[in-house]
Amino acid sequence: MTLKITKIDPRVRLPEYASEGAAGMDLRAFLAADVSIPPLGRVKIPTGLRIELPEGFEGQVRPRSGLAIKFGVTVLNSPGTIDSDYRGDVDIILVNLGAEAFIIKDGDRIAQLVIAPVSRAATEETTELSATGRGGGGFGSTGM
């Protein structure tokens, strides 16, 4: 599969896989100045990219594990979804769950982009659902 990408500025780096077995491509910040995220703060960070996903696929924007474990910085609406018919700017919503402010600089790797197939379902209204052993048991009902 080929992912079509436009850059809003020549300085923007295309997403790239960091290793041969990586599932996600690194997305980088495209900033005119550093951005500080205070503890419990959230910001929208531009990537400088627009993408064209093939029909039947989505882009999943996911956190980078290193930022999460080292600093408590993660993607707020994780995973964020980029629909195949979206052609606007790809921005990343980051939240700082850490105890100290976190600084993002231009070019920093801030998230991952995973391309995944999408299944679409037809809906059917019914008055009954099939029975299962679990039934309506919700949060924690199958044990800890």
Tens of pLDDT, residue by residue over 124-137, are: 999 999 998 888 88
The whole model's pTM is what? 0.88
Radius of gyration of the chain measured on its C-alpha atoms? 19
Asked if 98 and 71 count as a contact pair (C-beta separation under 8 A), the reply is yes
**Domain covering 4-117 assigned CATH 3.90.1150.10 in the classification:** no
Residue 141 — very low, low, confident or very high, per pLDDT cuts 50/70/90?
A: confident
What are the sequence ranges of the domains in the chain? 4-117
The amino acid at residue 10 is P
Run of H or E including 17: strand 16-17
The token pair at 40 is: 């419990």
